[in-house]
Structure 1
Amino acid sequence: MSPKQIDGKEVAKHNSMETGVWIVVHVYDMTEFLEEHPGGPDIILQYGGKDATEEYDPIHPPDAIKDNLDPSKHIGTLIPGSLAPPAPAAAPEPVQSTAVVTTGQVAAPQPYVKPDLSEILSLHDFEAVARHTMNRRGWNYYSSGADDEITMRENNTAYQRIWFRPRILRDVTKVDFSTEILGHKSSMPVYITATALGKLGHPEGEVVLTRAAHEHGIIQMIPTLASCGFDEMVDAAAPGQVQFLQLYVNADKSRTKKIIEHAGKRGVKALFITVDAPQLGRREKDMRTKFEGNASSHQTKGGDKVQRDAGAARAISSFIDPSLSWKDIPFLKECAGDMKIILKGVQSWEDAVLAAERGCDGVVLSNHGGRQLDTAPAGITILPEVVAALNQRGLLVPPGKPRFEIMVDGGVRRATDVLKAVALGATAVGVGRPFLYSMSTYGFEGVCHMLQILKDEFEMNMRLIGAPTLTDVVPSMVDISALKVPTVGNTMFGVNYETMYPAGVKAKL
Structure 2
Amino acid sequence: MLRTRSLFSSCLTDSLPRQRRLFNTLRPRQPRIRSVAITATVLATVLATGIAIHTALRPRVLLEEFSGYPTVTKTGSDQELISYDEVQKHKTKDDCWVIIDGTVYDVTEFLAQHPGGEGIILANAGKDATKIFKPLHPPDALDMLEEHQRLGPVDPLSMPEVVEEITDEDRRIEEARKRLPPVDAMLLLQDFEDWGAKVLSGTAWAYYRSAADSEHTFNENSNSYERYWLRPRILRKVGSGDTKTSFLGIDTESPFFISPAAMAKLGHPLGEVNITRAAGRLGLVQAISANASCGLDEMMEERLPGQPVIYQIYLNKNRQASEALLKKVEKLKPAAVMFTVDVPWQSKRTLDARAKHVVAPVVEDTEPQLKPSKSPLGVSEAIGGYQDPNLSWDDIPFIRKHISVPIIVKGVQTVEDVDLCVKAGVEGVLLSNHGGRSCDYAAAPIDILYEIRCLRPDIFDKIDVLVDGGIRTGADVVKALALGAKAVGIGRPILYANGTHGQEGVERACQILQEEINNTMRNAGATKISEIVPEMCGPAGPWVGQNRPPYVPNP
TM-score by length of 1: 0.85
Q: What does residue range 108-257 of structure 1 map to in structure 2 within 5 Å?
A: 113-257=179-323
Deviations 1:10-39 (A, max 9, x none): 442112437963312341334515853555
Partner of 2:445: 379
DSSP 3-state at the match of 1:88: strand
* Structure 2 match to 1:12: 84
Task: Select 1:59's aligned residue among 114, 131, 136.
Answer: 136
Measured after TM superposition, the shift of residue 7 of structure 1 is 8.1
Could you tell me which residue of structure 2 aligns to residue 407 of structure 1?
466
Between 284-293 and 327-336, the greater mean CA deviation after superposition: 284-293
- Classify the secondary structure of the residue corresponding to 1:87: strand
In the TM superposition, what is the alpha-carbon distance from 1:279 to its structure 2 partner? 1.5
In the alignment, the residues of structure 2 paired with residue 335 and residue 257 of structure 1 have an alpha-carbon distance, to the nearest angstrom, of 7
Counterpart in the other structure of 2:496: 437
2:139, 2:367 → 1: CA distance?
Answer: 27
Separation in structure 1 between the aligned mates of residue 242 and residue 185 of structure 2, nearest angstrom: 27
Alignment check: 8 A CA contact 1:272 1:343 kept: yes
Deviations 1:68-107 (A, max 9, x none): x3321212345778745643243334449xxxxxxxxxxx
C-alpha contact 1:6 1:75 (8 A) present in aligned 2: no
Shift of 1:331: 1.8
Counterpart secondary structure, 1:167: coil
2:396 counterpart (301, 320, 329): 329
8 Å contact from structure 1 (residues 7, 79) kept in 2? no
8 A contact 2:106–2:150 mirrored in 1: no
Q: Deviations over 1:97-150 (max 9, x none)?
A: xxxxxxxxxxxx999722222221110000000100100101100000000011
More displaced stretch, 77-86 vs 441-450: 77-86
8 Å CA contact retained: 1:5, 1:78: no
CA contact (8 A) 1:363 1:405 kept: yes
- Contact residue 42 and residue 293 of structure 1 kept, 8 A: no
For structure 1, which runs of at least 5 residues remain unmatched after alignment?
97-108, 399-403, 484-491, 499-505
SS in 2 for 1:155: helix
Cα separation, 1, equivalents of 2:245 and 2:498: 25
Residue 468 of structure 1 aligns to a residue in which SS?
coil
| One-letter amino acid of the structure 1 residue matched with residue 217 of structure 2 | T
Whole-Å separation in 1 of the counterparts to 2:163 and 2:109: 26
With normalisation by structure 2, the TM-score equals 0.78
Contact preservation (8 Å) 1:367, 1:410: yes
Give the structure 1 partner of residue 377 of structure 2: 310
Matching residue within 70, 91, 99 for 1:23: 99
Counterpart of 1:92 in structure 2 is 168
Measure, in 2, the Cα distance between the counterparts of 1:195 and 1:168. Answer: 39
Give a deviation string over 1:304-351, Cα, whole Å, max 9, x none: 6633323011111111111211122222112112x0011100000000
Partner of 1:297: 365
Larger Rg: 2
Secondary structure of 1:441's counterpart equals helix
Which residue pairs with 2:531 in the alignment? Answer: 472
Q: How far, CA to CA, are the matches of 2:106 and 2:285 in structure 1?
A: 38
Q: Equivalent residue for 1:99?
A: none
After superposition, the CA RMSD in angstroms is 2.9
Judge which range, 70-79 or 152-161, deviates more.
70-79
AA of the residue aligned to 1:15: Q
Deviation at 1:40, TM superposition (A): 5.7
- Counterpart of 1:331 in structure 2: which amino acid? F
The change in CA–CA distance for 1:27 and 1:368 in structure 2 (over 3 A counts) is same
Q: Is the CA contact (8 Å cut-off) linking 2:460 and 2:484 kept in structure 1?
A: no
Q: CA deviation at 1:388?
A: 4.3
Shift of 1:357: 1.1
Bigger Cα displacement from structure 2, 128-137 vs 310-319: 310-319
**CA deviation map 1:21-72 (0-9, x unaligned):** 33123413345158535556564455455432221111112222322x3321
CA shift for structure 1 position 370: 0.4
CA 325–293 in structure 1, closer or farther in 2 if over 3 Å, else same:
closer
The CA distance in 1 between the partners of 2:116 and 2:331, in whole Å, is: 32
The 1:91–1:358 alpha-carbon spacing in structure 2 relative to 1, beyond 3 Å, is same
- Segments of 5+ residues of structure 2 without an aligned counterpart are 1-46, 53-68, 70-81
- How far off its partner does 1:274 sit? 0.4
SS in 2 for 1:297: coil
Alignment check: 8 A CA contact 2:96 2:126 kept: no
Are the equivalent residues in 2 in contact too, given 1:409–1:430 (CA < 8 A)?
yes
Paired AA for residue 319 in structure 1: Y
Are the counterparts in 1 of residues 211 and 436 from structure 2 also a CA contact under 8 Å?
A: yes
Q: 1:397 aligns with which of 457, 461, 468?
A: 461
Instruction: Classify 1:406/1:300 alpha carbon distance in 2 versus 1 (closer, same or farther; 3 Å).
Output: farther
Assess, with a 3 A threshold, how the Cα gap between structure 1 residues 300 and 52 changes in structure 2: closer, same or farther: same
Q: Is this contact kept in 1: 2:177–2:199, CA < 8 A?
A: no
Q: 1:34 to 1:271 in 2, by over 3 A?
A: closer
State the alpha-carbon separation in 1 of the partners of residues 268 and 319 from structure 2.
Answer: 32
User: Where does residue 73 of structure 2 map in the other structure?
Assistant: none
CA contact (8 A) 2:317 2:388 kept: yes
AA matched with 2:132: E
Q: Check the 8 A contact 2:221/2:470 in 1, yes or no.
A: yes
Q: Distance in 2 between matches of 1:54 and 1:454?
A: 35
Identity of aligned residues (%): 37
The alpha carbon displacement at 1:421 in A equals 0.2
Q: How many residues of Structure 1 are paired with residues of Structure 2 in the alignment?
A: 468
Moved more, 238-247 or 19-28: 19-28
Report the counterpart of residue 551 of structure 2 in structure 1: 497
- 358-367 or 111-120, larger mean C-alpha shift: 111-120
Letter in 2 for 1:408: V
Instruction: Give yes or no for contact 2:311–2:337 (8 Å, CA) kept in 1.
Output: yes
